[in-house]
Amino acid sequence: MNHWLYERISENDGDRKPSFSVQATHNWFRALSFEIQNSHGKTNEEQIASCREFYRNVPKLKTQPVLGDIFEPLFFSVINLAIIRARSFLISSRSLASSSLS
């Protein structure tokens, strides 16, 4: 498995222990699993049935959501995706150019 991020954090700051967050995340998931099983059942079928029952009883909204609240984050995510794609294209182009010059 590639541990690039872990190695990058470790080399820049020797005092940081990124592996500590792994244990914290593991503990959080165990606690979440415990809560879900106690509230909604132990099996997937029981949990799905519990969630369906909950959402059947949620009152329907009488107003329509403001479309700007929906489309603004969508617009920014599309922009971010376009920037990431453009940057990855530039990086790969530079790699090809430098390898062809060597």
Question: Which tens digits make up the pLDDT trace of 21-63?
Answer: 777 888 888 898 899 999 999 999 999 999 999 999 988 878 8
In a domain, 84, yes or no: yes
Burial profile 28-47: b = 16 or more Cβ within 10 angstroms, e = fewer: eeeeeeeeeeeebeeeeeee
Considering the domain architecture, whether residues 48 and 75 belong to the same structural domain is answered as no
Overall domain count for the chain: 2
- CA-nearest of 39, 65, 61, 35 to 50 is 39
Residues 71, 46 share a domain: no
Q: According to the model, what pLDDT value does residue 52 have? A: 94
The reply to whether 99 and 79 lie within a common domain is yes
- Is the entire prediction scored with pTM above 0.75? no
Residues of the chain with pLDDT > 90, as a percent, come to 22
Select the more confidently predicted residue: 58 or 5: 58
Q: DSSP code of 14?
A: T
Q: Is residue 8 part of a domain?
A: no
